Structure 1
């Protein structure tokens, strides 16, 4: 009997592991677009081109000792293998895009990522040193977040891939990858971060106890 099932129905707020504290509100939520994620993060065209090259190379090499038709038939193994690999990459891209939720609030950036093993990254604005925007001609883009290192915390590149800035392995930069209308989202993030950082931080310090005179 068919029925609808939401794997994240236990979330009190979509994309977040717990309800927002008082004074915090969501400014933007979004997900990666699966096609840009496939072509950029998963190198779809490079993989397709690699197997096409193997097919062409095997066909030309085989034509030296057999007919072109026989050589192409023998080399078609690489095309079949390439189609399988590309299909798997497509499935991964769709699953990653569907499972991911990026959230920007007035205090932090939250990233619910991972298709098989789901995790949520909470990145307060005061822990973000810089944000850089990579923009495509179609308006999609990625926003990479450079984190401060004063607290010694390090993110795993492998655990957070593909939601990271490529090749920044030593100092992993989590990223909002392949999001639509990235310029507008970057403006929302920039304004929220500037506002949050400019607010004074008030810490409660316990009052000192009076020292009894001897």
Structure 2
């Protein structure tokens, strides 16, 4: 569990959470996305770089029919410069997203503090999670997508929660713990906590008047 704190969120009673934990709840794991995997996977760094490289090559080859290769490549270098600027912006976004995000697993829920410009916290009780899917990379980092139940009609916005979502699942948005290190161990913690929480009986407290009427 991480002990890092950030000045931007100094008002948080618990790092990564908007309020103190209720009685009986404890933190099992906290972590953040790794910015480099986030840049490659969520922000598609290589696709963007490849696109601008293709434009450079296409312009160079096409221009060589009417001018020298050197002149054509010089004119086409605009696309390389533009590509570097776009990739630099994606790098900044990845770092900001990684630093502002905190994923928390407790014995009752998954909480996700997300958003670099507009910060919000998603509280996902285990009883609202139908399934969890782990995507694991060879280097150990990976993403855990949470498939939510549809019992209350609530819908998460794909755009508002991006990039902390399962890619391309827009109709039924699946929030995800994206690009976290040691994802296999985190998935095991989540699985064990969810199984324990779901197996516990739910006791609903109702007013005395309703209890008498029900008899």
Fold match by TM threshold 0.5: yes
TM-score normalized by structure 2? Answer: 0.94
Deviations 1:22-63 (A, max 9, x none): 000000000000000000000000000000000000000001
* CA distance in structure 1 between the aligned counterparts of 2:192 and 2:82, rounded to whole angstroms: 48
Deviation at 1:207, TM superposition (A): 3.2
CA-based RMSD of the aligned residues comes to: 1.2
**Does the residue aligned with 2:8 lie in a helix, a strand or coil?**
coil
Please list, as runs of the form range in 1=range in 2, the aligned pairs for 1:1-214 lying within 5 A after superposition. Answer: 6-208=7-209
Gaps of 5+ in 1: none
> Which 4+ residue blocks in structure 1 deviate beyond 6 angstroms?
none
* CA distance in structure 1 between the aligned counterparts of 2:13 and 2:163, rounded to whole angstroms: 26
Deviation at 1:205, TM superposition (A): 2.7
* CA distance in structure 2 between the aligned counterparts of 1:112 and 1:62, rounded to whole angstroms: 49
Gaps of 5+ in 2: 1-5
* CA distance in structure 2 between the aligned counterparts of 1:205 and 1:67, rounded to whole angstroms: 83
- Work out which of the two has the higher radius of gyration on C-alpha atoms and give 1 or 2: 1
* CA distance in structure 2 between the aligned counterparts of 1:80 and 1:197, rounded to whole angstroms: 53
* CA distance in structure 2 between the aligned counterparts of 1:177 and 1:89, rounded to whole angstroms: 16
* CA distance in structure 2 between the aligned counterparts of 1:208 and 1:57, rounded to whole angstroms: 77
* CA distance in structure 2 between the aligned counterparts of 1:57 and 1:69, rounded to whole angstroms: 14
* CA distance in structure 2 between the aligned counterparts of 1:188 and 1:65, rounded to whole angstroms: 63
Find the counterpart in structure 1 of residue 3 from structure 2.
none
Q: Number of residue pairs matched?
A: 207
User: Which structure has the highest helix share of the two?
Assistant: 2
Deviation at 1:17, TM superposition (A): 0.2
TM-score normalized by structure 1? Answer: 0.95
Deviation at 1:208, TM superposition (A): 4.3
